Amino acid sequence: MHQDRRLGAGRSETQGDRTVEAQMSEPKRGGTRMTPRLKRCIAAAALAAAPLTAPAETLSLATWGTSSHPQVKLFTQPFMETVEKKTNGAIKFKYFPDDQMVKQNFVPNAVPTGTVDIALTTLDSWAGRIPDVSVTAMPFWPFSMEETRAQLVPGNPVFDWFDQAFQKNGAKILCIFDIGPGVVSTNFELRLPENLKGKKIRATSKGQAELLQSLGAAPVVLSVGEVYQALQRGTVDGAIGGLQGMVGLKHYEVAKYLMASNGVLGTYVHGYVMNLKRFNSLSKEQQQIVMAAATEARNAAQDFMIESYQKFLGVAQEKGMKLFTLQKSSSEWEKWQAALASFNAEHKRSFSPELLKALGQ
């Protein structure tokens, strides 16, 4: 009996445990009892319903020419770092320097088609799509480097005119800057326009090629990365280009003379542009961050290019080039102006009145 009572007690405890478990599973009056199992189910459902953190947006950024050029060195890293920081990592970058993804003359196709999201560009290289941009390479372009620094920013009529034209062609201008008047690296002495007659001269664009042709030269349009070898092999007798790029790419090794044009042959207005669809896919806040970061980096790069222009001319001389600086109001200057008078008059008529008005022409 004693054993039976103990077994009965054991059964009673087991039954008691089941009774407690059953009671926990039963709904109480006025609500549902929160069992551990129910809690786990609710937690799992809440986790499944919680919004997931959006993956970072990765933008490709491509440059051409030498990475030591201020337009690259002083822009790309500060721009990318600022955007990543201020978006808390929501935007990241994949960077392709030194012609790795796109060459200078291919940017006008690569950006609108989405081959690359953001790229360094020469505005004049878009003349095939936007003929009016050639005004940036004309001898009558009105802005100095300092004036470009102050005026060609978002909200300025000229900047906004160009931006609207680019948007119609699938691109958004992030910033515009002036790398300075072009220099001419040659293997013959160049002081007067007649010295160009019959010479094969590298041009950066269609508009610049037309200018050279008006002076009797035989223009050859080449990307910046092709110039060194062309000068070395004698494919061209000379090349117009930006001063900093010429020094960075060591054209002084393959050219004897350098003419600093002081703007008589125009200047180089460059910028960074972005695929418009990709820009519009960003939130308004992210768009503002991208634009502000581009302006900040552009200002620092433009300031350096203004301050260092004469120093780069000095480097070219130190490397053995014979420098001739065309001075405004000199007899040589007047001859260049006279030689370009008909070209200037003809081409002014080809640009839209709205743009010329914005330029004060």
Average pLDDT over residues 171-194: 97
Ordered by where they begin, the domains of the chain are: 57-179+267-308 (3.40.190.170), 183-265+310-356 (3.40.190.170)
Q: How does residue 150 score in pLDDT terms, banded at 50, 70 and 90?
A: very high
Choose between 9 and 72: higher pLDDT.
Answer: 72
Give yes or no for residue 179 having a pLDDT over 80. yes
User: So what's the pLDDT on residue 50?
Assistant: 42
At 264, phi and psi to the nearest 5? -65, -25
**Whole-angstrom Cα distance, residue 202 to residue 222?**
6
| b/e map 20-46, b = 16+ CB within 10 Å | eeeeeeeeeeeeeeeeeeeeeeeeeee
R_g of the chain computed on alpha carbons: 33
Q: How does residue 1 score in pLDDT terms, banded at 50, 70 and 90?
A: very low
Closest CA to 257 of 181, 321, 191, 182: 321
| DSSP code at position 156 | S
**Whole-angstrom Cα distance, residue 257 to residue 323?**
6
Classify residue 238 as exposed, middle or buried by CB count within 10 Å of its CB (0-12, 13-18, 19+).
buried
30-48 residue pLDDT tens: 545 566 665 565 555 554 4
User: So what's the pLDDT on residue 198?
Assistant: 97
Give yes or no for residue 209 having a pLDDT over 70. yes
258-293 residue pLDDT tens: 999 999 999 999 999 999 999 999 999 999 999 999
User: So what's the pLDDT on residue 24?
Assistant: 41
Q: How does residue 224 score in pLDDT terms, banded at 50, 70 and 90?
A: confident
* Least confident span in 10-14, 156-160, 178-182: 10-14
Strands (E), 197-341: 200-203, 218-221, 238-241, 257-260, 267-275, 322-325
Using CA atoms, how far residue 268 sits from 8, 44, 72, in Å, is 101, 61, 15
Give yes or no for residue 125 having a pLDDT over 60. yes
60 DSSP β-pair partners:
94
Give yes or no for residue 21 having a pLDDT over 70. no
**Whole-angstrom Cα distance, residue 299 to residue 316?**
25
**Whole-angstrom Cα distance, residue 2 to residue 6?**
6
pTM: 0.79
Give yes or no for residue 123 having a pLDDT over 60. yes
**Whole-angstrom Cα distance, residue 229 to residue 170?**
34
**Whole-angstrom Cα distance, residue 361 to residue 268?**
19
Average pLDDT over residues 204-233: 93
Strands (E), the chain: 57-62, 91-96, 118-122, 171-181, 183-186, 200-203, 218-221, 238-241, 257-260, 267-275, 322-325
pLDDT, the chain, mean: 88
Q: How does residue 243 score in pLDDT terms, banded at 50, 70 and 90?
A: very high
Average pLDDT over residues 4-12: 41
296-344 residue pLDDT tens: 999 999 999 999 999 999 999 999 999 999 999 999 999 999 999 999 9
